[in-house]
Amino acid sequence: MGIAGNSRPASGAEHLISHGLDTILKNRGLHGVQSGIATIFSLGLRGSDGWRDIKDFYKKLNLPQKPEDIGVSKDIFLEAVKIAPSTRTGRFTILDIKGKDRKLLSDVYDNVYK
């Protein structure tokens, strides 16, 4: 980010989902926690199995692993995913490619957060 002069290198889908949650929730959560949970989803959406390793790592550290762990329902999380791209316009992420397919988003959610 220092080289780029802005936060774009760190503003992937997981960060946008966190900003989407902030838009929806009355009591904003910690950006790092929300982004961490959204990392699992973003990796699943990309088709990567890396989400399993991240989830295992979070478990070892006793960190939240799914939206429900921080009081966020599936419906609220998926709404945050839907509005995420509009929170920081001009940033291209996996959400621009796959973020409009509601069934896919729901299936990925069910797969990675089971």
Asked if residue 3 is part of any domain, the answer here is: no
Question: Which stretches does DSSP call E strand in 1-114?
Answer: none
Mean model confidence pLDDT for the chain: 92
Span 87-111, pLDDT tens digits: 988 888 999 999 999 999 999 999 9
**Number of domains the chain contains:** 1
| CATH number of the domain where residue 53 is located | 1.20.1090.10
Among the listed residues 89, 94, 86, 1, the one whose alpha carbon sits nearest the alpha carbon of residue 39: 94
**What letter does residue 112 receive in the DSSP assignment?**
H
Q: Which domain holds residue 26?
A: 8-112
User: Is it the case that residue 9 has pLDDT exceeding 60?
Assistant: no
Asked if residue 2 is part of any domain, the answer here is: no
CA atoms of 66 and 93, how far apart (whole Å): 21
Contact 93, 16 (CB under 8 A): yes
Asked if residue 78 is part of any domain, the answer here is: yes
CA atoms of 109 and 93, how far apart (whole Å): 17
Asked if residue 93 is part of any domain, the answer here is: yes
HSE, CB side, 13 Å, CA atoms: give it for residue 90.
3
CB burial class (10 A; 0-12, 13-18, 19+) of residue 71?
A: exposed
CA atoms of 1 and 5, how far apart (whole Å): 6
Asked if residue 1 is part of any domain, the answer here is: no
Span 68-89, pLDDT tens digits: 999 999 999 999 999 999 998 8
